[in-house]
A and B are shown apart, each in its own frame.
With several copies, the nearest count.
Chain A
Amino acid sequence: MITVLFFASLKEQLGCNGISLSGAGINTINDIKQSLIADKPDWSKWLHKPNLLCAKNCEVVNGDCSVTSGDEVAFFPPVTGG
């Protein structure tokens, strides 16, 4: 299982706080995006935004970063600070 979280404006755009994926066929962050879009095509617009950030287990990573079962992956817009 891979836990996927969404924050801030992205969470509102998707209308979803987060989702759990089985992990089958998922090797990278980009695979997660493809899997989500395969299931919900209207998410494509939001998940392909160029300034979208991603963290794996609380560390910011790139789209080609590997993921394995048990990881927590989060997608969010640029932070605006406290």
Chain B
Amino acid sequence: MHYIEVQKKDFNVGYEYQQLVKDNSSDGAVVFFVGRMREFNQGQKVSALTLEHYPGMTEKLLAKIEAEAQERWPLEDSLIIHRYGRMEPGEQIVLVVTASAHRKAAFEACEFLIDWLKTKAPFWKSEETAEGTKWVEAKASDDQAADKWSEK
């Protein structure tokens, strides 16, 4: 199963896991990543985060990167759920699940997908802090994390 969803509403990690693994006895390794809204970013308290995206383009690029992950690793299942809209500290933002017969492939593919999502996916963040609401600038360290995958 290969699944992508860009949605405003929250997701249930336990439910998504059950859906993914039911009737499946070939996936020995399932790796999940859940990205959550942090209360502090670079030392500053953030009361809310709003993610804007480009509907249509987001889904297209997510499908492309998921297909790339499937080419690079022997993935039985993969799942990406990414939220947009306004979120408060502790809320879930993104879920990536990869499943494979072996753990190395599942870990690498999951890390590849989340590195891409966190840096190259067409989302724009604005943060609400005591100083007001402002758009977040792209981070160089995130780009490096995503770039390591192009060396392969």
Where the two chains meet, the residues of A that have a C-beta atom closer than 8 Å to any C-beta of B are 5, 7-9, 55, 58, 72, 74, 76-82
A80 proximity list for chain B (CB < 8 A): 123-125, 135-139
Q: Which residue of A lies closest to B124 (CB)?
A: A8
Q: What are 6 inter-chain pairs, A to B, with CB distance below 8 A?
A: A7-B124, A58-B60, A79-B138, A81-B118, A81-B121, A82-B51
In the complex, the 9 A-B pairs of residues with the closest C-beta atoms, listed nearest first: A8-B124, A58-B57, A81-B118, A9-B135, A81-B119, A82-B123, A78-B138, A82-B117, A80-B125
Q: In the complex where A7-B54, A55-B54, A58-B57 touch, is A81 in contact with B120 (Cβ < 8 A)?
A: yes
Chain A residues, Cβ within 8 Å of B139: 80
Residue of A nearest to B114 (CB): A82
Bound Cα distance A62, B139 (Å): 23
Measured as residues with beta carbon below 8 angstroms from the partner, the interface class of chain B is 20 to 34
Instruction: Given A76-B124, A77-B135, answer yes or no on A82-B60 (Cβ-Cβ < 8 Å).
Output: no
- For chain B residues 115-131, which have a beta carbon within 8 Å of chain A? 117-126
Taking Cβ atoms with an 8 Å cutoff, the residues of B that contact A are 35, 51-52, 54, 56-57, 60-61, 82, 93-94, 117-126, 135-139, 142
* Closest A residue to B51 using CB positions: A82
* Structural contact, B123 and A74, CB atoms closer than 8 A: no
Residues of A within 8 A of B61 (CB): 58
Q: Chain A residues with Cβ under 8 A from B123's Cβ?
A: 79-82
Q: Which residues of B contact A81 (CB under 8 A)?
A: 117-121, 123, 125, 138, 142
Return chain B residues, CB-CB under 8 Å to A82: 35, 51, 82, 93-94, 117-118, 121, 123
Q: For A77, what are the chain B residues with a Cβ–Cβ distance below 8 Å? A: 124, 135
Let me know if B56 and A79 touch, CB within 8 A. Answer: no
Question: Whole-angstrom distance between the alpha carbons of A77 and B120 in the complex?
Answer: 12
Residues on the B chain within 8 Å of A58, using CB: 54, 56-57, 60-61
